[in-house]
Amino acid sequence: MESIAKLTGVSKEFHSGRGISGVNLTLSKGDIYGLLGPNGAGKTTLLKMLTGLLTPSFGSISLFGQDLDQSFASSMRKVGCMIESADFYDYVTARQYLKLNASFYPELPPQRLDEVLEAVGLAAFAKEKIRHFSTGMKQKLAMASSILHYPEFVIWDEPTNGLDIEGVVHFRALVKQLSAEQGITFLISSHMIHELEQLCNRVGILHQGVLVREGNVHELLADNISLEQYYIAELQKGKELMDNGGLNSSN
């Protein structure tokens, strides 16, 4: 299976002493990978390193089979990301905002702006200024922007933040559609474990910067009542190992 992203022994040490420690992780084409972990576990840090927003202190990252340092521009062309809350120009409309972003991709067909607005459920608000948007609407616009250029790999950090129930259902359908129709690979960090259970084929649990467990969701559900039950149990094991000083790298 084609490797989309590969982290080998990746660590990030912040001055605070926290960060990420020895993460090994491979995402294959077509994966919908859910990244779980408590607040401060290192999920955003890991996603930032995959997109060049942070540089690892140790280890290597490759995207699409090429070292990220060597192929940053060409790899990023195939990545769509939404990490932490997006910044917008409040005085432009949703469509104008996407048009600005589309200017980086001159090959995009003109109808693409309306396609992505429709895909995230914002078509009716295309001509409204962003300053009138709610948190959830801004989240949808950031999602639209991240898929504008037909990325092959989408990285979303807590994408359901601010979405209403209908928005969450729509989000789930969108991921499944993009995965099935365009073969997009997803890496999604979220605290919404029930969402990930319904969406992902694989999940990983980060705890205090260490990828303590990974698994195939179908296999995990065969042995556990729910992903939540698995998560709580694995987190507890991770804590015990940390307390005993026995866990300092993933896998």
Ligand X SMILES: Nc1ncnc2c1ncn2[C@@H]1O[C@H](COP(=O)(O)OP(=O)(O)OP(=O)(O)O)[C@@H](O)[C@H]1O
Instruction: Mark residues 10-39: x for contact with ligand X by CB under 6 A, - for none.
Output: ----xxx-xx-----------------x-x
Q: Which of 4, 6, 31, 44 contacts ligand X by CB under 6 A?
A: 44
Closest approach of Cβ 224 to ligand X, in Å?
A: 22
Q: Which of 11, 21, 45, 160 contacts ligand X by CB under 6 A?
A: 45
Q: Please, which residue, 64 or 156, has the CB nearer to ligand X?
A: 156
SS (H, E, C) the chain: CCEEEEEEEEEEECCCCCEEEEEEEEEECCCEEEEECCCCCCHHHHHHHHCCCCCCCEEEEEECCEECCCCHHHHHCCEEEECCCCCCCCCCEHHHHHHHHHCCCCCCCCCHHHHHHHHCCCHHHCCCEHHHCCHHHHHHHHHHHHHCCCCCEEEEECCCCCCCHHHHHHHHHHHHHHHHHHCCEEEEECCCHHHHHHHCCEEEEEECCEEEEEEEHHHHHHHCCCHHHHHHHHHHHHHHHHHCCCCCCCC
Binding residues for ligand X, total number by CB under 6 A: 13
Instruction: Give the whole-angstrom CA distance, residue 179 versus residue 170.
Output: 14
Stretch that binds ligand X, among 40-48, 118-126, 127-135, 138-146 (CB under 6 A): 40-48
Closest approach of Cβ 197 to ligand X, in Å?
A: 18
Q: Please, which residue, 16 or 111, has the CB nearer to ligand X?
A: 16
Closest approach of Cβ 50 to ligand X, in Å?
A: 12
Closest approach of Cβ 35 to ligand X, in Å?
A: 8
Closest approach of Cβ 123 to ligand X, in Å?
A: 30
43 touches ligand X by CB under 6 A = yes
204 touches ligand X by CB under 6 A = no
Half-sphere exposure of 113 (CA within 13 A, CB side): 18
244 touches ligand X by CB under 6 A = no
Binding site for ligand X (CB under 6 A): 14-16, 18-19, 37, 39-45
